Amino acid sequence: MGLSSPSPYNYSLCHGIYQFETSQNTTYVVNFVFRNGYFPENEFLEDNVYLISFHTSSRSRKFDQRIELTLVNIITEFFSRNPESGLIFLCDISNNLQRPRKITFNKWFKKHNTWFEKHDFKIPGGDHEYLASLIVHQENPYKRIMLKECNKFVSEVSK
C-alpha cells in the first residue's frame, strides 16, 4: 500500500466567512474584505480588490500540511467566484514574525500556483515594515490598473 497525500480540511462558508477546524481542534476563520479603504478615490478597486485575513483560535506548534491545502483551496474558490478581482495578502506583524510568514506564503504560492501572478510590496509603518502581495489571475483584464494603484498607494504612504 502506498502512502496517500493529505487532503484539505472540510470548510464551511457562511455570509462570506470561511471556517474550518483542524485535527488539533484549532479553528481557522478566513475572510475576504472589500472596501478596505486602500483605494478611496477608485470605486472599482474598492469593490474588486480584497484583503484576505485569517485568524486562529489558538496557535498550533505542530506542522499541519492540511492547513496549507485548505487555505489554498479557499483562495482558489475565491478566485473562481471573483475572477476579475485582486487579492491583497498582508503579513501579520504580531510577534515581529512578518518575514517568516512571508517566506511561508511565498513557498505555498510557488508550490500551488498555476494561474496567478503575485506582486510583492514593502510598506513602511513606523517601527515595522509591512510585507504585502497583490495576487491576480493572469488573465485578469484589470491587473495593470490594480498593480499601478497598489504601487501608487505604497508610494504615497512611504512619503
User: Considering the domain boundaries, does residue 21 fall inside one?
Assistant: yes
Average pLDDT of the chain? Answer: 88
Q: Quick: pLDDT tens for 41-59.
A: 888 898 999 999 888 888 7
Residue with cell 500500500: 1
Exposure pattern of 144-156 as b/e (b: 16+ CB <10 Å)?
ebbbebbeebeee
User: Considering the domain boundaries, does residue 102 fall inside one?
Assistant: yes
> Is there a contact between 28 and 54 (Cβ–Cβ < 8 Å)?
yes
What pLDDT does residue 101 have? 85
Q: In the structure, what pLDDT confidence band is assigned to residue 3 with cuts at 50, 70 and 90?
A: low
Indicate the pTM of the whole model. 0.87
Number of other CB atoms surrounding residue 22 within 10 Å: 18
User: Considering the domain boundaries, does residue 7 fall inside one?
Assistant: no
d(CA 67, CA 69) in angstroms, rounded, equals: 5
Phi, psi angles (nearest 5°) of residue 126: 70, -115
What is the number of structural domains in the chain? 1
> Is there a contact between 83 and 48 (Cβ–Cβ < 8 Å)?
no
User: Considering the domain boundaries, does residue 146 fall inside one?
Assistant: yes
User: Considering the domain boundaries, does residue 3 fall inside one?
Assistant: no
What pLDDT does residue 77 have? 93
The CATH number covering residue 94 comes to: 3.40.630
User: Considering the domain boundaries, does residue 78 fall inside one?
Assistant: yes
What pLDDT does residue 42 have? 87
Segment 4-16 mean pLDDT: 91
> Is there a contact between 10 and 20 (Cβ–Cβ < 8 Å)?
yes
User: Considering the domain boundaries, does residue 103 fall inside one?
Assistant: yes
> Is there a contact between 50 and 94 (Cβ–Cβ < 8 Å)?
no
Q: Quick: pLDDT tens for 76-124.
A: 999 999 999 999 998 877 778 888 888 988 998 999 988 899 999 998 8
Domain with 131, as residue range(s), is 12-157
